[in-house]
Chains A and B, each alone.
Chain A
């Protein structure tokens, strides 16, 4: 191995926090862009009623005389096949898919983390059983299992959340199990056990904190994936139903008019792309920053 030069003498300069953050952001322009874009999505979702020009159109309002109007100063994104303002629906859509994603990932973590901890920390036959079950779930490509479940359940947002959550928990179980197993094997944990410290305390103080960083990375990376899955299922008619302003559903509704009214499909789809792109960009940047040992879980 070619010898690296001897390390530089310690720096005595203290870098103020704001400065350090700014330097970190500048070194990571893509991640910064992702963070900014995510913020846009969150702001739009939170302030939707204030931002949308025709909030009622996000619900069941219909305007038979304003059907399929091209983008104009009145309707920046045009109107759809029942006359609803697409801009307003897209804005309110930011409250649908992202919220689905949050719920899904929450459930996935609530199931996956305890299972992973039990499997990784206690090991033995519990580990075997849990990991075999996980393996079977993971034997399905992600979208497929969610699709099968969503197809057999009555179509609604609730079914959507359940279907996708059932697909997503195994990844978190595997992730946490790996972390827990590696911590459990360390000498200081063995000494804790020998000292008689109860397991739950060891888990709380040593195992869980270790898993936090890769979990954060995985969640931010998964956010975009869940949004894509949710909108894909809604596109197929398996998730949100009319009049919910779900982006995938809006694309499906606009399909038949696409050649003459391009705006009905284009803008909701752009919203999906924008949001998934933003969170994946952020997640990618976070991974480079926090978890250099890339474990390509997906």
Chain B
């Protein structure tokens, strides 16, 4: 198990927004975390990264990465984990990159932050860019000069260059056109297959989840109501809520994972 979440509770004061008994992601697998907007999925990402406090939330429970208990680490130790061992990509790629920095500048700085030398960083960045099917020259551009899909792939490239073990993908395709979505999904599959990354794919779009994920967990109001192999959950749901969600997306029908 790469990432194991047990008994996680994230609260804003007295209000609990996440209450997950069990969720895990293994190496070389894509686990979907699906549910309606506002069901607490994104807070899970923040909690795993140890950044819940930046929005004023408190975290209880256990989050382990390859056996290391993240909730007991200091901020200094967590900073070494962030980016390096657990990577994250966000929903709106155009706003996820600072408009006044060249894209490559952010990539480079991140790589050097985690210990690479200048030449190593340049080399790793180029290699990672090619792996996500982007020309390394694009690193010289500003975010406004790249498309949403390209930006998202650059974000994934950072995770690749740092050889992260886990990727938290928080609604990465929700802001993209359908055709561009396909590019990003392809890259994610490649991550799983070639690099053996554990990917937590968060989305409210069940169609995409069905197409991409090996296993699926359905979240409702902070709780996981059902989880299991994608093919099984999405064709023969055990929970009424899952069935309701599926009913709202008639096109899915037994289209399991590749």
Chain A residues packing against B (C-beta within 8 Å) = 1-6, 8
What are 6 A-to-B residue pairs whose CB atoms are below 8 Å? A1-B95, A2-B55, A2-B91, A3-B37, A3-B43, A5-B12
Taking A1-B95, A6-B38 as given, write out 9 further A-B residue pairs in contact, using a Cβ cutoff of 8 Å, ordered by the A residue number. A1-B91, A2-B46, A2-B55, A3-B37, A3-B38, A3-B41, A5-B12, A5-B38, A5-B40
Chain A positions within 8 Å of B92 at CB level: 1
Chain B residue with Cβ nearest A7: B38
The answer on a CB contact under 8 Å between A2 and B17 is no
**For window 29-57 of chain B, which residues contact chain A by CB distance below 8 Å?**
37-38, 40-43, 45-46, 55
B239 to chain A, nearest CB (A): 21
| Distance between Cα atoms of A115 and B17 in the complex (Å) | 53
Q: Is B90 an interface position by the 8 A CB rule? A: yes
The answer on a CB contact under 8 Å between A8 and B15 is yes
Chain A residue with Cβ nearest B38: A6
| Distance between Cα atoms of A3 and B90 in the complex (Å) | 10
Chain B positions within 8 Å of A5 at CB level: 12, 15, 17, 38, 40, 43
Q: Is B165 an interface position by the 8 A CB rule? A: no
| Distance between Cα atoms of A1 and B38 in the complex (Å) | 12
Chain B residue with Cβ nearest A4: B55
Chain B residue with Cβ nearest A3: B42
| Distance between Cα atoms of A5 and B95 in the complex (Å) | 19
Chain A positions within 8 Å of B40 at CB level: 5
Interface bracket on B: 10 to 19
Chain A positions within 8 Å of B38 at CB level: 3, 5-6
Chain B residues packing against A (C-beta within 8 Å) = 12, 15, 17, 37-38, 40-43, 45-46, 55, 90-92, 95, 170
Chain B positions within 8 Å of A1 at CB level: 90-92, 95
A10 to chain B, nearest CB (A): 15
Chain B residue with Cβ nearest A5: B17
B200 to chain A, nearest CB (A): 15
Chain A residue with Cβ nearest B171: A3
A69 to chain B, nearest CB (A): 59
Chain A positions within 8 Å of B37 at CB level: 3
Chain A positions within 8 Å of B12 at CB level: 5
| A-B pairs, 8 with minimum CB distance | A3-B42, A6-B38, A2-B42, A1-B92, A5-B17, A1-B91, A5-B12, A2-B46
The answer on a CB contact under 8 Å between A2 and B45 is yes
Chain B residue with Cβ nearest A8: B15
| Distance between Cα atoms of A45 and B41 in the complex (Å) | 60
Chain B positions within 8 Å of A2 at CB level: 42, 45-46, 55, 90-91, 170
B203 to chain A, nearest CB (A): 12
**Listed residue (A3, A4, A8) with the most chain B CB atoms within 10 angstroms of its CB:** A3
A298 to chain B, nearest CB (A): 25
Chain A positions within 8 Å of B95 at CB level: 1
| Distance between Cα atoms of A4 and B37 in the complex (Å) | 10
| Distance between Cα atoms of A3 and B91 in the complex (Å) | 9
| Distance between Cα atoms of A298 and B255 in the complex (Å) | 61
| Distance between Cα atoms of A1 and B175 in the complex (Å) | 10
| Distance between Cα atoms of A6 and B221 in the complex (Å) | 10
B86 to chain A, nearest CB (A): 15
B39 to chain A, nearest CB (A): 8
B102 to chain A, nearest CB (A): 22
Chain B positions within 8 Å of A4 at CB level: 55
B25 to chain A, nearest CB (A): 20
Chain A positions within 8 Å of B45 at CB level: 2
B83 to chain A, nearest CB (A): 16
| Distance between Cα atoms of A6 and B12 in the complex (Å) | 11
Chain A positions within 8 Å of B90 at CB level: 1-2
Chain A residue with Cβ nearest B40: A5
| Distance between Cα atoms of A38 and B107 in the complex (Å) | 52
| Distance between Cα atoms of A8 and B42 in the complex (Å) | 17
| Distance between Cα atoms of A8 and B15 in the complex (Å) | 9
Chain B positions within 8 Å of A3 at CB level: 37-38, 41-43
**Listed residue (A4, A5, A8) with the most chain B CB atoms within 10 angstroms of its CB:** A5
| Distance between Cα atoms of A2 and B95 in the complex (Å) | 11
| Distance between Cα atoms of A3 and B42 in the complex (Å) | 6
| Distance between Cα atoms of A6 and B55 in the complex (Å) | 13
Chain A residue with Cβ nearest B45: A2
Chain A residue with Cβ nearest B11: A5
A42 to chain B, nearest CB (A): 40
Chain B residue with Cβ nearest A6: B38
